[in-house]
Amino acid sequence: MSIYIPKHFAARDQAVAARLFRDHPFATLVTPSGDEPFVTHLPLIFAADGGHGTLHGHFARANPHASAAENANSLAIFHGPHAYVTPSWYVDPAGAVPTWNYAVVHAQGRIELARDRGQTRAVVDLLVERFESERAEPWKLGLTGARLDAMLDAIVGFRIKLTRIDVKLKLSQNRPREDRERVAAGLADEGYADACATAAWVREVASQT
pLDDT of residue 71: 83
Q: How far is CA 83 from CA 101, 124, 171, 177, 187, in A?
A: 5, 33, 10, 19, 8
Question: What is the tens place of the pLDDT at every residue in 157-171?
Answer: 999 999 999 999 999
* pTM beyond 0.85: yes
pLDDT of residue 169: 97
Task: Indicate whether 209 pLDDT > 80.
Answer: no
Count of Cβ atoms closer than 10 Å to residue 180 Cβ: 22
User: 51, exposed or middle or buried, with CB in 10 Å at 0-12, 13-18, 19+?
Assistant: exposed
Question: What is the tens place of the pLDDT at every residue in 37-82?
Answer: 999 999 999 999 888 999 999 999 999 999 998 888 999 999 999 9
Alpha carbon distance 186, 82 (integer Å): 14
User: 159, exposed or middle or buried, with CB in 10 Å at 0-12, 13-18, 19+?
Assistant: buried
Task: Indicate whether 145 pLDDT > 80.
Answer: yes
Question: What is the tens place of the pLDDT at every residue in 78-135?
Answer: 999 999 999 999 999 998 999 999 999 999 999 999 999 999 999 999 999 999 999 9
86 neighbors 59 (Cβ within 8 angstroms): no
For 7-175, which CATH class?
mainly beta
